[in-house]
Amino acid sequence: MRHDDNLTTERPTFVTHLECGMTGERYDADQIHGLSRVGRPLLVRYDLKALGAAVTPADLAQRPADLWRYRELLPVRRAENIVSLGESTTPIVALRKVGAGEGARNLLVKDEGRLPTGSFKARGLVMAISMAKELGVTTIAMPTNGNAGAAAAAYAAQAGIDAVIFCPDDTPEINVREIAAQGARVYRVNGLIDDCGKLVAAGKEANGWFDLSTLKEPYRIEGKKTMGLELAEELGWELPDVIFYPTGGGTGLIGMWKAFAELEALGWIGSKRPRMVAVQAEGCAPIVRAWEQGERHATRWEDAHTVAAGIRVPQAVGDFLILDAVRDSNGFAIAVSDAAILEAVEDAARLDGLLLCPEGGATLAAWRAAIADGRVSPDETVLLFNCATGLKYPMEDRSATLDRHGPIDFSAL
Ligand SMILES: *Cc1c(COP(=O)(O)O)cnc(C)c1O
């Protein structure tokens, strides 16, 4: 693939070290790491000064429109370790009619459903699996609500790494099947994603699996960070006023926040930041509850349920990083009902022709609620995230049937 000219094999990256997201304690790069000593996520740090001297936004503009165009800001050292299914830049699409319904002209959606395996989990997993390959991992294991497992399986197949995947037994059927089709061993578990995570932890002890759970290894964030780099570049190095992000483990929100800090340090953007809005479902809203109560950590949400499986995450190891970004940005956390989610999905498809996944629908429902209560104004430029292709999810059958052999009243069609 064209990545051979994207990365010369001998060139070191600009990674200097890793750092505990909670304590700031330093860890060496180029070694296999999970969580930090205090059990919190590790963040990759770069020599941004040297990086800024080596590459400019004008250089980027010459490169292929994919995630690897940001290679200097990514951790993979050697091109031959890159696995890829074509992680193309995703478009920003205006929801004109839905926006106009609330008097807004700048309602935008970053449509992540165009990525390999049909979701933005591809961004995180292409990075995590490339790094797993680089660091010599032979078997990965992960808990998933569906899309992460699908992306992990796909890239693991390419890397020649064994993948063992655990999902709640009510995970969308298509996800369970695509995981298996892409060569992973997949198990349906009678529990939620954090229960699946406990099985991964036990299997790690027993079998030496590498734990690829959200934020329990350092590189999925780096992959998700490219959403922030990409949207900044697409919008001419100007950030929107507000970003609505459907928050499960929060990797994307944390990753974008990190991206913005790195871009400002490089001088590619100014100090203006979007208000970051963490969107959850009313049936599983641990981050919203913690935000409302002014807590830095979120307690587990019992009996979690929602149609938006991707954000059914009762407890997140990166809770404080999500909450810090929401607060530092002057944003907020908001929960929406399943009914509002489904209505939003229907409206975006019917009015603007964009088929959202339920989690994407949640961001639209949250925007509507925030317009209604005045937390967001219709004049603001708002970016919603559609994280997966709507085609992966069940749709109502609204078709009618015709008998081609009988008389047809065309005036009634
Ligand atoms: C994983 C997932 C989310 C949540 O993303 P995080 O970055 O883990 O919070 C939202 N929507 C979909 C479709 C997902 O697969």
Token pair listed for 123: 């961004």
Bigger pLDDT: 67 or 9?
Answer: 67
Q: Whose CA is nearest to atom 5 of ligand 1?
A: 248
Residue 6 has pLDDT above 70, yes or no: no
Burial class (CB in 10 A: 0-12, 13-18, 19+), 395: exposed
Q: Which of 112, 114, 117, 120, when mutated, tests ligand 1's pocket best, judged by the most ligand atoms within 8 Å of its CB?
A: 120
State how far Cα 182 lies from the chain centre. Answer: 20
What architecture is domain 92-114+225-391? 3-Layer(aba) Sandwich (3.40)
Q: Please check whether residue 18 is in contact with residue 42, taking contact to mean a CB–CB distance below 8 angstroms.
A: yes
Residue 26 has pLDDT above 90, yes or no: yes
d(CA 185, CA 200): 13
Burial class (CB in 10 A: 0-12, 13-18, 19+), 385: buried
Q: Whose CA is nearest to atom 4 of ligand 1?
A: 248
d(CA 363, CA 380): 15
pLDDT tens readout for residues 314-356: 999 999 999 999 999 999 999 999 999 999 999 999 999 999 9
What pLDDT is recorded for position 3? 45
The closest-lying atom of ligand 1 relative to the alpha carbon of residue 248 is: 9
d(CA 396, CA 393): 10
The closest-lying atom of ligand 1 relative to the alpha carbon of residue 246 is: 10
The set of long-range contacts for 197-203, using a CB threshold of 8 Å and a minimum separation of 24, is: 197/143, 199/143, 199/166, 200/141, 200/142, 200/143, 200/166, 203/141, 203/164
d(CA 252, CA 249): 8
C-alpha 359 to ligand 1 mean position (Å):
7
For the chain, what are the domain ranges?
8-81, 92-114+225-391, 121-211
For ligand 1, residues with CB inside 6 Å are 119, 121, 147-148, 214, 246-252, 310-311, 357, 359, 387-388
Residue 89 has pLDDT above 80, yes or no: yes
23, 34, 46, 128, 189 from 42: Cα distances, Å: 10, 8, 13, 13, 28
C-alpha 172 to ligand 1 mean position (Å):
14
What pLDDT is recorded for position 13? 84
Task: Tell me which H or E stretch contains 258.
Answer: helix 251-266
pLDDT tens readout for residues 237-294: 999 999 999 999 999 999 999 999 999 999 999 999 999 999 999 999 999 999 999 9
d(CA 117, CA 195): 24
CATH topology for 121-211? Answer: Rossmann fold (3.40.50)
Q: pTM of the full predicted structure?
A: 0.95
Q: Whose CA is nearest to atom 1 of ligand 1?
A: 310
